[in-house]
Amino acid sequence: MTTSNPSGRQTPSSLSVITGGAEVGTFEPEKTPHELLVEHYERRTFTGGAVLGALPSPTWLIRGLLLKNSIATIYGQKGQGKTHYTLGMSLELARGGVWHGRKLVAAPVLYLVGEGSSAFVERLEAWQEFHNEPLPELFHSAHIEPAPQLVEGDEMRAFAELVVRRFGSMANSGLIVLDTFQTATVGLDEISARDMTVAIEALQGLRRATGSTVCPVHHAGKNLERGQRGHSSLGASMETELEITKEANSPNVTAKLVKMRAAADGGERSYRLNLVQLEPTLEDKAEALVLGLPAELRSVPVLTESDSADDPLVPRNEKLLVTMLESYDLADGLKRSDVERELGLKKSQAGTVLKELRDKNYVTNESPTTKRQVKEAYWLTDLGRSIAEGVRLRRAGHLVEQATSREEAF
């Protein structure tokens, strides 16, 4: 390969090696750091609509609440139920249950318990008792003292490796909970822009190293309207901010979606703390024996959604959900006239049924195809579909039991 210089003479290309008049190979000159950086920037810059197919759209860990591979925070003032909420959400995600009105795909969770390990274990015990099932295999709780520090490079790299080992191939759909943010940032000044910038970059580093969503649990400031405690840069860096509050002398807890970068924010959902009675521990029994008193049961709260699958449905509403699942889960949705015909109701009664189902988040006016609101049409939500499938399975089981009983009678 030759090139012409300004004098017109033929000279070997700077990319060729000439031996005995023959070209035997080429080489690329080593690129400078500047050139490599420009190339990297070039690869990440798109013209017009080319970006639409080149970069992925947001993917959900919990639709409308948590994005995959993001950072989020759950905060509230002392005693408002932050850990109850976060633990309930984590366990539902790990078992593929229902949360935020959505049926979930099971995903791995690693919950770093920075304070109150014994109380945390007791809450896990109560969750098992309440749901009458073992803790999910995809749920991992880390009880490390002192807690790994976000800004200590060796500690955070070791913690990230722990997460990757536990999550394996599912790391890109996992959730890491740091409860609390304070215990993972000991020595940092929360009101310092510099310190919080360092902490935020550490959270992002943990996210990048694992591919998982990272969710610190944090305290709110004295003035709840000003959001979570500390410098404003912390909240500004989050894809999701959830504020947890509890009614005084009440089991009712509210989760407010203060910020959601990829969807509508401002919505609220209600939750309920259910007291679970647990057997006394061996220590409790020993103490009671010494005092000559009966050992008392332990009362431990477990948080569940108020509008959950555990809420009973009247038979006509059950029938309508199953009908929607089997016949009306189509592009045009369900109309009020369909409800009148299927259930034999008057116009006003059909409207009442649809309102009840919509208030429970079992049906929606949002088209699953166009994502637009259609006032006169209804579709099943993920939660509604899950409820309908459960009703159908329960009815099928009842029919089998009836058939078995008739066979035994003969």
Q: Do the Cβ atoms of 11 and 22 come closer than 8 Å?
A: no
Neighbouring C-beta atoms of residue 49, cutoff 10 Å: 8
CB 200 within 8 A of CB 231: no
Side-chain-side CA neighbours of 113 within 13 Å: the count stands at 20
CATH of domain 60-305: 3.40.50.300
The domain ranges of the chain are 60-305, 315-403
| Gap between the Cα atoms of 400 and 166, Å rounded | 41
**Token output for 6:** 């300004």
Measured distance CA(342)–CA(18) in Å, rounded: 87
Residue 64 burial by CB count (10 A; 0-12/13-18/19+): exposed, middle or buried? middle
Reading the block at residue 31, the tokens are: 């690129």
CB neighbour list of residue 231: distance below 8 Å, 6 or more residues apart: 190, 191, 192, 193, 195, 196
Per the confidence metrics, is the pTM higher than 0.95? no
Residue 21 φ/ψ, nearest 5 degrees: 80, 0
* Dist CA 311 CA 356 (whole Å): 12
Residue 390: CB atoms within 10 A of its CB come to: 15
Closest CA to 126 of 324, 275, 291: 275
Measured CA distances, 139 to 91, 267, 381 (Å): 7, 27, 26
Residue with tokens 């940092």: 188
Q: Domain 315-403 belongs to what architecture?
A: Orthogonal Bundle (1.10)
In tens digits, what is the pLDDT along the chain, a chain of 410 residues? 444 444 444 444 445 555 555 555 666 788 899 999 999 999 999 999 899 888 878 899 998 899 999 999 999 998 899 999 999 999 999 999 889 878 899 999 999 999 888 899 999 999 998 888 899 999 999 999 999 999 999 999 999 999 999 999 998 899 999 998 999 999 999 999 999 999 999 999 999 999 999 999 999 877 787 788 888 888 888 999 999 999 888 888 999 999 988 777 778 888 989 888 888 888 888 888 888 888 888 889 999 887 544 445 667 788 888 888 887 656 688 888 888 888 888 887 788 888 888 877 888 888 888 888 888 899 888 788 878 887 777 666 544 444 444 444 44
